[in-house]
Amino acid sequence: MKKVFVTRQIAEEALQILMQNAKVTVHSGDLPPEKNEIIEQVKDAQGLVTLLTDQIDAEIINHGKQLIVISNVAVGYDNIDVETATRRGIYVTNTPGVLDDATADLAFTLLLAVARRIPEADSFVRTGQWKGWDPNLLLGSDLKDKTLGIIGLGRIGSEIAKRAKCFKMKIIYYQPQRDPEKEKSVGAKYASLKELLSKSDFISLHVPLTSETKDLIGKKELNQMKKTAYLINTSRGPVVDEQALYQALVEGKIRGAALDVFDQEPISADNPLLKLKNVVLTPHIGSATLETRTRMAVLAAQNTVKALNNETPPHLINPKVLEYKKNPNSK
């Protein structure tokens, strides 16, 4: 029987699917497995089900001599050395589509929270500072008629556009490939990155982390934003130069930020962002609803089983692997 190693406890429904098709070992514990544990487990495994916290590098992949599939329970796959996996003829899969609403909900929640200063207001009440109604207390920003700039109008970006429409916002977007059909369906206008940065009142990031998107928002880009603008990041931490963002927030180059993702996760206790009032912080919970996480786990299990049964899994990240499978010597 084939073996699958699952790096964290995932939804029971998903484990059942795996167990009907393979011998399943699940890492127990509240923290991700150490690299050594993954290496040990992967040595005789055909399937590896991973979470975004697992850095699946060449060393791990090369220990998986029998590996057929690496199935990430996430849409992003920047935690996996896809190139090495492809060269080794290993399928790599992800879970697109099933988390769009939950992630867009969180992004929009963050947008509202920073615009209306919800964490500050909550702490104000809890700490007994509320002495009386004040017409100037905790004034935030309207959303109506404000411009939302979406960077990456993909699956999640489109969902946030739909939410923004209901809040009567104007929507512009930037991405390398213009998408006229999507523009029409969600009512967004295309803009260059420079134009988007200078025109938006809110900017929300929905790009994958790649060599092109690393530090996409740095000092230069933050300087091009309105002083009254807010930045929302639910994509991946390294898409934003965190130090430049901190400086921009302290120097009033932008008004606020809301972040679900960080350079280092979890962030260290001395991260200066923790001291700023104009920042809302959440611990990478974009897709964290019971229903969504279950759907993601089930999809990852289905991807795994397909691959173990020698079929091409539906959510294949590396279609090039098919060439390597046909001809293992091709480069």
Catalytic residues: 236, 265, 284
Judged by CB under 6 A, does residue 236 bind ligand NAP?
Answer: yes
Taking the complex as a whole, the smallest distance from the CB of residue 97 to ligand NAP amounts, in Å, to 7
Measure Cα distances from 32 to 77, 261, 277 in Å.
16, 17, 31
Judged by CB under 6 A, does residue 149 bind ligand NAP?
Answer: no
Taking the complex as a whole, the smallest distance from the CB of residue 275 to ligand NAP amounts, in Å, to 23
Residue among 177 and 329 whose Cβ is closer to ligand NAP: 177
Q: How many other CB atoms are there within 10 angstroms of residue 219's CB atom? A: 15
Phi, psi of 3 (to 5 degrees): -115, 140
Measure Cα distances from 155 to 99, 103, 177, 191, 206 in Å.
9, 10, 14, 18, 9
Stretch that binds ligand NAP, among 79-87, 135-143, 152-160, 293-301 (CB under 6 A): 152-160
- Best CA proximity match to 102, nearest among 68, 75, 141: 75
- Per the rule left: phi > 0, alpha: psi between -120 and 50, beta: everything else, 241 is beta
Q: Which residue has the tokens 């933050």?
A: 222
Number of residues that bind ligand NAP (CB under 6 A): 30
Taking the complex as a whole, the smallest distance from the CB of residue 216 to ligand NAP amounts, in Å, to 6
Judged by CB under 6 A, does residue 232 bind ligand NAP?
Answer: no
Scan residues 163-202 and list those touching ligand NAP (CB under 6 A).
174-177
Helix axes 12-19, 290-308, angle to 10 degrees: 10
Amino acid making up residue 172: I
What are the structure tokens assigned to 232, written together?
A: 């929302």
Residue among 41 and 292 whose Cβ is closer to ligand NAP: 292
Residue among 99 and 240 whose Cβ is closer to ligand NAP: 99
β partners of residue 280 = 258
* Single residue of 260, 308, 315, 317 touching ligand NAP by CB under 6 A: 260
Q: Compose the 67-106 pattern: x for residues touching ligand NAP by CB under 6 A, - for all others.
A: --------xx-------------------x--x---x---
Residues that bind ligand NAP (CB under 6 A): 75-76, 96, 99, 103, 151-157, 174-177, 206-209, 212-213, 234-236, 260-261, 284, 286-287
